[in-house]
Amino acid sequence: MRKIEYIKNNYQLLTIKLLIVILFIVTCYMGFKWTYNFWYIDLIRDSDSLLGNEQFLRHIKSNFTPSLIILLPIIGIFINKKIGWILITSFFYMIIIALIFPLTKDDSLDISDYLTMGLFIGLIIFIITVMNMKKISEVTYGFTKSQLITKNIIASIIGMTLTIVIIYIKK
């Protein structure tokens, strides 16, 4: 009976955590799938020589970078303390910044790209708003209202830093 009460009271947070876990599983699966499909013949012929192949290692790095990034909020899911909230929220700030960055740089985007990114940005802002609700931030993670602004600033700085690191890795 207590589990049902917990789910009733925390369904929003549980939904966000489930979304993060699903994103992690999907990115891991896609990384394995893309690597396997691209290197299938070489894996059959001589799998030992692939570990020394620089192109193979770059390909693995690019395929599994999203999974490594999503490890940050995965760790935050299992920590029901203030640092867990910061890790989860910083991930969503990182997504917003990563979505806004191409909008300012690329001139070849059309109206459907802007609308799609706008919808995703709106969804992520909604998730950040849910993470800032009193029921989640104060009751579950122990933030006072005055601490919430500071922690949001910290989470956004971590998100910006992660975005810059990702852009640096891609180049």
pLDDT tens sequence across 106-158: 667 788 888 888 899 999 999 999 999 888 888 888 888 888 999 999 999 99
Nearest-angstrom CA–CA distance, 89 and 65:
19
What does pLDDT average to over the chain?
82
pLDDT more than 90, % of the chain: 32
| Cβ(39)–Cβ(59) below 8 Å | yes
Check whether 92 has a pLDDT greater than 60. Answer: yes
**What is the Cβ-side half-sphere exposure of residue 60, based on CA atoms within 13 angstroms?**
10
Q: Which two tokens stand for residue 23?
A: 């994103």
* pLDDT tens per residue, range 39-62: 665 555 665 565 566 676 677 777
The pLDDT, as a whole number, for residue 114 is: 82
Length of the chain measured in residues: 171
